[in-house]
Amino acid sequence: MGVARLGAVGTSSRKCFVEDDVTVSLFRRSLAEGVGTAMLMIAVVGSGLHVGSSELSSAMAISGSLIGLMLAFGAVSGGHFNPTITLMQWLSGQRTLDCAVWYIASQIAGALSGALVSAFVFGVPPGRPGFDSPTVSSLASEGVASFGLMTVVFCCSRSTNKLVGPFAVGLWLLAAILSTPTGSIANPAVAISLFATPASASVVAVSLFVVVQIIGGSLAALTASTIYPDGG
């Protein structure tokens, strides 16, 4: 059985990345996505700016925050905090267009807000954007990272529930941050919000990162539907 078109039909679900009650106002669900993405970005940026932080401690902070946020907000919004998840649900007919637009706009706004809050808290102004082209290896890194993260996400959404999925996703993200050259950004909203961080971001690199992240997510969705053809 497919998942009812979220935002159009009132239903209840205990699956990962699906809200429990789609009759809840779209504003409330989108607000949960925006606040959750902002908090995630605070962990992403703050863990990197904190004195004495290491790659391992930063990875633990980011993955731990994601687990907590998914558990906290998942019942209301599905706990996406990533436009690729929302986009793939819309393309598969699981979510209405208006809901997808609200979610993605909230995720991007939340990520930008979170980055600015972190910069303010640490007293470091956002850097100026550049126009350097990314390396082929960095693009490949984001493609692989996005495919891996989204494969775990979509397989969990078809095979387990809200109490298990967040830990599976968080554990994979922890490993991916430590094992990919780009640190597994794997999130278009996070990539776009790099413009609001103290580190200077390249317009060209961010644009291409978003493209390969969505491509990786699309391949992951196809992989998950092939492995779990009768899933949600």
pLDDT (average), residues 173-202: 96
pLDDT at site 194: 96
Chain mean pLDDT for the chain: 93
- Tokens 């009812």 locate to 4
Contact indicator for 116, 126 with CB cutoff of 8 Å: yes
Q: What is the pLDDT of residues 157-167, one digit of tens each?
A: 999 888 999 99
Q: 9, exposed or middle or buried, with CB in 10 Å at 0-12, 13-18, 19+?
A: exposed
Q: What is the pLDDT of residues 52-102, one digit of tens each?
A: 899 999 999 999 999 999 999 999 999 999 999 999 999 999 999 999 999
Please state the pTM of the whole predicted model: 0.94
Backbone angles phi, psi at 202, to 5 degrees: -95, 130
- Does the domain made of 26-227 have the CATH classification 3.40.50.300? no
Domain ranges of the chain: 26-227
Backbone angles phi, psi at 6, to 5 degrees: -70, 135
Q: Is the pLDDT of residue 9 over 50?
A: no
pLDDT at site 1: 34
